[in-house]
Each structure stands twice: as C-alpha cells, then as structure tokens.
Amino acid sequence: MARARKRDRLRWSKLYTFSCFGHPHTDEAAGPAAVSGSPVGGPGFSRIVHCNNSILHRRKPLKYPTNYISTTKYNVLTFLPKAIFEQFRRVANLYFLLTAILSLTPVCPFSPVSMIAPLAFVVGLSMIKEALEDWRRFMQDMKVNSRKVSVHKGEGEFEFRHWEDLCVGDVVRVEKDQFFPADLLLLSSSYEDGICYVETMNLDGETNLKLKRSLEVTLPLEEDETFKDFRGIIRCEDPNASLYTFIGNLEYERQVYALDPSQILLRDSKLRNTAFIYAVVVFTGHDSKVMQNSTESPSKRSRIEKKMDLIIYILFTVLVLISLISSIGFAVRIKLDLPRWWYLQPQNSNKLDDPTRPALSGIFHLITALILYGYLIPISLYVSIEVVKVAQAHFINQDIHMFDEETGNTAQARTSNLNEELGQVHTILSDKTGTLTCNQMDFLKCSIAGVSYGVRASEVERAAAKQMASGAADHDNPVEDVWESNEDEIQLVEGVTFSVGKTQKSSIKGFSFEDDRLMQGHWTNEPNSSTILLFFRILAICHTAIPEVNEATGALTYEAESPDEGAFLVAAREFGFEFFKRTQASVFLKEKYTSSNGTTERLYMYFKLLLSLAFLSSAQSI
C-alpha cells in the first residue's frame, strides 16, 4: 500500500549556491522549440525510453539488455578453451606438451603415462585455481544482482525486486544510503525543490557529495500514488562511457524538456543526506555508464612469471646443446664402432641404431635425449609458485591490518596472479593527498589571531621528530633516548613544542584536539577572547551541512558535503557552539560557555544566510 511521506520543507533553490544548478526557465517553458537544434534522434542519440511502461522494452525493436551484470573472466562454454590457452602461454607447459606427444612414439625411453600425468596434474591444478577465483567473482556479482529496490508495479503501488529484474522504463524509489541500481533520471526527492545529494566515490574516488536536481515539471510526483497515471518518453544518447555528459529530452504532458547530467543518477553511486528519491531507469546492466567504463577481466602475467619464462628459455637452450652433443657422439659411435660390436648383432639393427645411416640414428637419438634430459626443466616450479600465490591471497584476505572496523570488511584478493607485484611501487604521482589517504578529517590544531592552539602532534610533525631523532645519532645521542623516552614533549624549534607521548585515540570522531586554553570554556580567559568567539561562530555557521537527530540516542549528527565540514562542526560543538537547525534563510546555534565572571552563558543564536559559495571543480567552472 502506498504510503504518504512528509517532505522536507527546506527550499534549497532559494540559496544562491543551489540555484546555480537550476535550469534557465526558458529551456522548459519554450517547449519543443527550445530543443529544435538538439542532436537527439540523430546518429548516436537514438535511445527511446517509455517511462512507467517497461513492457515495451522487453520486445523488439526496443529490446534493451537486462540489469544483470557479470564481471567474471569465464563462463560455462568459454572456461575450457580459455583456461587451456592461459596455461599453454607458459613456455614450460608447451615444452612438456611437446614431450608428452613424443612419448607416444617409439623413440621415447619412458612410458607415456610418466610424461602425460605430471603435465595433466600441473595444468589441472592451475585451472582449478582459476576456476575458484572466477567463482568468487561470480558470487560477488550474484550478491550485487540480488540487491533489492522498490519498483512501481502499477496502480500507485511499489514492490521490492532484485536489481537483476529491473527493466528500462521502471520507476524506482531509492532510500537514503542505498546504491542506485541502474542509470536513473531523477524525478523528485524528499526536498520540495527536487534536489538530492549523491556520493560518487565508487565512480571517481571523490568523497565530497554531488548535488543533483530534478526538472521542475516532475516535482509533483512526490508520493507513490502520483505514479498511477505517470507516462513520459525519454529520447537520449545511446549507451556510452562518458560519466560527465548526458544529452536527452523528456516528453511529458505534451511538452519537451531538455535533460543534462545534473538529473542523471549513475549506477554504483549512493544516495546521501536525502530521505528518498523517485527516478526512472534509463540505462540497465552493461549499458550503464559505469559498466561501459569497465573492461573484461584481462589475462595478466606478473614480472616473476615472465622472468620464469626467460629462465626456461635458457634451460631449454642448455638442454638442446647437451642433447645435440650427445646425439653427435652417438652417431659417430654408431658409424665407427657398432660394426665391430658383433655381440650387438649389428646386422639385425633397426633404424634407431643403423650403422649404414648414422645421421638418421643421430636425429632419433636427439629426440630421445631431449626427453631423457627433460628433467633439467622443472615442471614443479610452476606448481610451487601457484601454491605460494594461493597461500598469499589467503593471508591477504585474513590480514587484520587491512580490516576496516567501521564497515566490518576485510581485504579481498580477487585474483592471485599479481601478488608478487604488491610492494614494488616506488613512485606515486598524485594531484592531491585525498587520493592516497582515507580522507578522514580530524580537528587537531587551529591558529587564532596568530596564536597556535593544540598540543597533539600531527603525522607530519611526528615524521619530523623522528627524522630529528635519527639525526641525533650523529652526535653520539642514541635514537632511542630521543624518540622512545618517557618525555611527553619534543621541541622542534625554540618556543615550539608538541606532545609525542602515546596518546589514546579520541572517542569523538573527527575531533582530536587537546589544549586546556580553549577547552571547558577557558578560552574566555584568553586576551583575544573576542576573536576566538568569532572563530568558533564561523566554524559553526559557514557550511552547507544538515543536522539530523539520532532517534536512538537523541544526539545530533551532521550530513555534510565533505569531511572537512563535518570535522569543523564537531569541533564547534565540542567548544560549546552547537549548530542544531537550518531554514532556507537562517542558521541556528546553541552557544554554551563560561564567561570571565564565572557564570555559564546559554544563548540561542540565529544568523541570516545571505550567500553561499559552493566548491566547483575546474571542469564545472569553465
């Protein structure tokens, strides 16, 4: 049964920051004339989506792919030929395959089983390892395909379906902190202005939230019942790998409205800071942009494996030389000495040791020698390497140092072919530190009116102190005496000290500040208390975060676009300046601190919001 939802009354478009994401009114009001020059309908822009009428996309000519995805390297039909090809890319396996074939001829000094069985064991073991690793990929795909999402089934009612059962044209409702199951066109959200926050960390690695906004014409589609008679047609670009572009039109209520990337929600991105959104499926499965950017699982070979091939080439060359010398000597002895060896009955000899044809006998002996001396090439080497790789992958999966306490996830080695490549990176080129770190912000220090506050050491300062400690060894001062001493402070330069003692991890996420001059309201005793007051207020009001009350504990949490804003707000709250409410034009604070005369001040302050400047990347600014 459809449920009515209470929509948030905060109209973000009234703020300058968010109004920048709106569309010029002329685009929507002009109707078809506004999009007459659009490439939609031409080559590369032929996709047609019938909104809320997915049955039309299950048959030709609009039969689009399902939402089922697969990232496996093999399937039931391709496993055997592909896996065999992968195994015989190794030089040693090719050599032993040749010797196994030759073992079926009379020139082989061994039983064919003794040559074929080791090869079959080595190749079979490697193929089993490949199959197990690909099975794990398959199970991960099944886990994703089995996720559920609320889909409109008709008559204004929604039901839960697996992701793999979604079709183009379906209307879905996505709740907060859920992933988008396909590439969607945003129709409305819990906010009256149809905006929502999206986290695209799985797509581009960015942790700051992106703002998306629906067309104004679809804002009335705010409840389950409103989709009972909803119909529309989307004409847009064909599936492509461009994450930041989208061209299309929406035909709705006899009008045509231009679409752009600000209305598109990409698969594998997550809904944040928004209670729910309604959207229609545009691209499914391998047509989605994230899957268009993915490639088939490649057949990668590590440096060690390539070096092993080089070693095998060298050993094979030595083997050929030994066999060649042995065969020449055999041919000479057959020609010169065999006729005198009457007890060998040379008159009854076969072609393998015919004194009348020593060259032919030498060739046959060369083949025999290649097989006989073949143990110079160690077939067990590859088996040993495979066993080591599997064991390493298991240790990686169980490594406690790579366990994420917040999510409860461990590291997952999807393939063990490149284990030995780990740790061999010696140069990293990065445009920012967030690419190399977990991008978690802690409020550790601050500088107010030229005065530095905060006694805890940052990672940079710890590294500097350790470097100084190592340099102290040159002056007959042991490193342990400086770094591992019981002293709580180290002086980097005159007048600048910091704590390097073994401090416990802060229980407040995002706040690791320690300084009695500012904590517990002691900042009011500072000579620059008025500047400090202004600093704390700026921390609490200059942001775009949204306060949310935890129903279980009653505590406030902040939904911020970036971890920087969240850390600033937590710090302001710990200093006694708590941001607790926001309207479309004001920001409200609770200020609690002890004044210089010893009385505790509790003030409820509000500040009028005049302008908000959003962060724009260089691509968005152009």
Catalytic residue IDs = 431
Closest CA to 441 of 509, 541, 366: 509
What distance in Å separates the CA atoms of residue 219 and residue 227, rounded to the nearest whole number?
12
What percentage of the chain's residues is helix, strand, coil (to nearest 5)?
40, 20, 40
For residue 548, give the nearest of 149, 190, 21 by alpha carbon: 190
Could you say which DSSP state residue 596 is in? T
Distance, in Å, from the CA atom of 564 to the CA atom of 230, rounded to the nearest integer, reads 41
- Which has the closest alpha carbon to 194: 158, 160, 218, 167? 218
Residue 226 marked ligand-binding: no
* Cα distances (Å, whole numbers) of residue 116 to 84, 85, 93, 102, 383: 15, 18, 11, 10, 15
> In this structure, are residues 144 and 243 in contact, taking their beta carbons and an 8 Å threshold?
no
* Ramachandran bin of 154, using left for φ above 0, alpha for ψ from -120 to 50, beta for the remaining angles: left
Task: Tell me the β-bridge partners of 606.
Answer: 588
Strand-strand pairing, 255-259 and 264-265:
unpaired
Burial zone of 531 (CB within 10 Å; 0-12 exposed, 13-18 middle, 19+ buried):
middle
432 annotated among ligand-binding-site residues: yes
- Which helix (H) or strand (E) element contains residue 582? strand 577-582
**What tokens were used for 204?**
């581009």
Q: Considering only CA atoms, which of 442, 382, 472, 499 is closest in space to residue 92? A: 382
Euclidean distance between CA atoms 598 and 596, whole angstroms: 5
DSSP 221-277: --SGGGGSS--EEEEEPPP-S-SS---EEEEETTEEEEE-GGGEE-TT-EEES-SEE
Question: Which amino acid is located at 174 in the chain?
Answer: V
For residue 286, with 0-12 CB atoms within 10 Å meaning exposed, 13-18 middle and 19 or more buried, which class applies?
Answer: middle
CA distance 273 to 253: 31
Instruction: Answer yes or no: is 431 a known binding residue.
Output: yes
For residue 237, which amino acid is it? Answer: E
Phi, psi of 228 (to 5 degrees): -60, -45
Pairwise CA distance, residues 270 & 290, whole Å? 13
Token couple for 193: 């202005």
Three-state helix/strand/coil letters over 320-363: HHHHHHHHHHHHHHHHHCHHHCHHHCHHHCCHHHCCCCHHHHHH
Q: Which single residue is written with the structure tokens 């959003």?
A: 614
DSSP state of 30: T
134 labeled part of a ligand binding site: no
487 is in an annotated binding site: no
Binding residue positions for ATP = 431-433, 565, 615
Binding residue positions for Mg(2+) = 431, 433
Binding residue positions = 431-433, 565, 615
